[in-house]
Amino acid sequence: MTNKKVLIIDDQIGIRVLLMAALDKYELKDAASGREALDIITDWQPDLVITDLKLPGMSGLETIVKINELGFYPETILMTAYDRLSISEDIKISGFIEKPFDIEQLTTMIDDLIVNI
Ligand SMILES: [Mg+2]
């Protein structure tokens, strides 16, 4: 158990449930949309946000931009097949992971970003 806070954003409840179970050593909250995530962010600042790219309404990338516009700069992991090169350098993405992801790879990535620093 760490006191690091991770916000999980995915419109698929199955993915959220899987991630909540796999990442239970962190303090967790989850959101089904970017809008919901922004509501959470304003009073619960996560150390890291892991978001699906494809969300209904605002995309995962747009959500990260909005989070930054609110003045919050958590580490960010984008679940997408895209690579860093296709995303504007102005947007701070800490890591990318493709679905279906390997949970161990994901937890290592998260630990390297917010725990082992
Ligand atoms: Mg999705």
CA of residue 77 to ligand 1 center, whole Å: 14
- Taking only the tens place, the pLDDT of each residue in 96-113 is 898 888 899 999 999 999
The answer to whether residue 114 is domain-embedded is no
67: pLDDT strictly greater than 90: yes
Mean pLDDT, the chain, integer: 91
pLDDT, average across residues 55-72: 94
* pLDDT at res. 1: 66
> H or E element: which one contains 105?
helix 103-110
The answer to whether residue 21 is domain-embedded is yes
The domain tally of the chain equals 1
SS3 annotation, 60-74: HHHHHHHHHHCCCCC
CA of residue 113 to ligand 1 center, whole Å: 23
CA of residue 16 to ligand 1 center, whole Å: 11
Residue 72's domain comprises: 5-109
Q: How many CA atoms, within 13 angstroms, populate the side-chain half-sphere of residue 41?
A: 25
* pLDDT at res. 86: 65
The answer to whether residue 48 is domain-embedded is yes
* pLDDT at res. 57: 94
The answer to whether residue 64 is domain-embedded is yes
State how far the Cα of 77 lies from the Cα of 113, in Å rounded to an integer.
10
The answer to whether residue 32 is domain-embedded is yes
Which residues place a Cβ less than 5 A from the ion ligand 1? 11, 52, 54
The answer to whether residue 94 is domain-embedded is yes
The answer to whether residue 76 is domain-embedded is yes
The answer to whether residue 17 is domain-embedded is yes
What is the domain-level CATH number for residue 83?
3.40.50.2300
